[in-house]
């Protein structure tokens, strides 16, 4: 299975991929996560990427394509992977097609999670992430047992720099103009399924599983 999870920021891609990766034994490839990890480790790539991320802008296509290309060449991505947050532009989608073609491979399914704008804002403003293990929570919709402490690893929670209102607005605009066209790009190939992301975590998950069964 080679799956791509799409949807606006805050749609629930990260939350759903946490479960999908475990249940289907997939290699998770999240460009946002890779950039944040590189930044945390003080790598030049992370420092460069954070300049864009902080402002809610997309990281340069060439930089992004290069890290994905390297990641896809690793052994654990050979059979099954789940892409979360990549591609986000048509240029990236074309680059991904080229990479996969060279590997004699292709995407099997694209799941597009839909949510309305008000919910997106609410979700992103209340999002909290574990500093240590990157697990994602929400102040109201998925609170931790102890305030500010990760249920899974005991790490401290933080609010992402780009989850402040100003940068969220910017990201939504960019999503509309740059990423939305990808829906048609994949729909034309018959591998795209829409899933209603306005439901509970579990209901969204069940719908994704059904959509995957339907395609594969
Ligand atoms: P979200 O979970 O809110 O959709 P991500 O963690 O996927 O956010 O991404 C965070 C930020 O990292 C993006 O706003 C963008 O700046 C950068 N980023 C992630 N993936 C890409 C990509 N494929 N192309 C360009 N920038 C990206
Ligand atoms: P994305 O990766 O698409 O940006 P996340 O999975 O990080 O989205 O979810 C954004 C925020 O919304 C998180 O705080 C998460 O806990 C919350 N969230 C995700 N899915 C749902 C849902 N179905 N119902 C309520 N809150 C949700
Ligand atoms: Zn944790």
Q: List pLDDT tens digits, range 169-186.
A: 999 999 999 999 999 999
Are 109 and 215 in contact by the 8 Å Cβ rule? The answer is yes
pLDDT, residue 167, reads 87
Closest by alpha carbon to 183, among 7, 1, 2?
7
Residue 94's CB is within 10 A of a number of other CB atoms, namely: 14
Are 109 and 4 in contact by the 8 Å Cβ rule? The answer is yes
Are 61 and 92 in contact by the 8 Å Cβ rule? The answer is yes
Report d(CA 16, CA 206) in Å as an integer.
Answer: 10
- Per annotation, catalytic residue among 2, 88, 123, 128: 88
Interval 71-120: pLDDT, tens: 999 999 988 999 999 999 999 999 999 999 999 999 999 999 999 989 99
Read off the DSSP letter of residue 192: E
Q: Which residues of 154-167 are buried (b: 16+ CB within 10 A; e: fewer)?
A: ebebeebebbeeeb
pLDDT, residue 150, reads 98
Q: How many angstroms is it from 56 CA to the middle of ligand 1?
A: 8
Are 197 and 11 in contact by the 8 Å Cβ rule? The answer is yes
pLDDT, residue 147, reads 97
CATH numbers and ranges of domains, the chain: 2-115+164-215 (3.40.50.300)
| Token representation of residue 106 | 């292709």
Read off the DSSP letter of residue 164: S
Please give the number of the atom of ligand 2 that sits closest to the Cα of 7: 3
- pLDDT over 80 at 155, yes or no: yes
- pLDDT over 90 at 165, yes or no: no
Q: What is the mean pLDDT of residues 16-22?
A: 95
Indicate whether this model's pTM tops 0.85.
yes
Catalytic residue check, 189: no
Q: What is the mean pLDDT of residues 134-143?
A: 96
Catalytic residue check, 106: no
Q: How many angstroms is it from 31 CA to the middle of ligand 1?
A: 6
């Amino acid at each position: 299975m080679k799956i791509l999870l799409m949807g606006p920021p805050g749609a629930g891609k990260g939350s759903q991929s946490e479960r999908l990766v475990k249940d289907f034994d997939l290699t998770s490839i999240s460009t946002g996560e890779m950039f944040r990890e590189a930044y945390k480790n003080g790598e030049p790539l992370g420092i460069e990427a954070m300049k864009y991320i902080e402002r809610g802008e997309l990281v340069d296509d060439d930089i992004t394509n290069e890290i994905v290309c390297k990641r896809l060449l690793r052994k654990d991505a050979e059979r099954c992977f789940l892409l979360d947050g990549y591609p986000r532009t048509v240029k990236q989608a074309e680059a991904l097609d080229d990479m996969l073609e060279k590997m004699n491979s292709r995407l099997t399914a694209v799941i597009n999670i839909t949510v309305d704008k008000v919910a997106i804002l609410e979700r992103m403003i209340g999002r909290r992430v574990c500093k240590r293990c990157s697990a994602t929570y929400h102040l109201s919709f998925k609170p931790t047992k102890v305030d500010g402490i990760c249920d899974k690893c005991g790490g401290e929670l933080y609010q992402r720099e780009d989850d402040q209102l100003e940068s969220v607005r910017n990201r939504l605009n960019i999503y509309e103009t740059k990423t939305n066209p990808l829906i048609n790009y994949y729909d034309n190939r018959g591998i795209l399924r829409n899933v209603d992301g306005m439901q509970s975590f579990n209901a969204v998950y069940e719908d994704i599983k059904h959509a995957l069964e339907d395609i594969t």
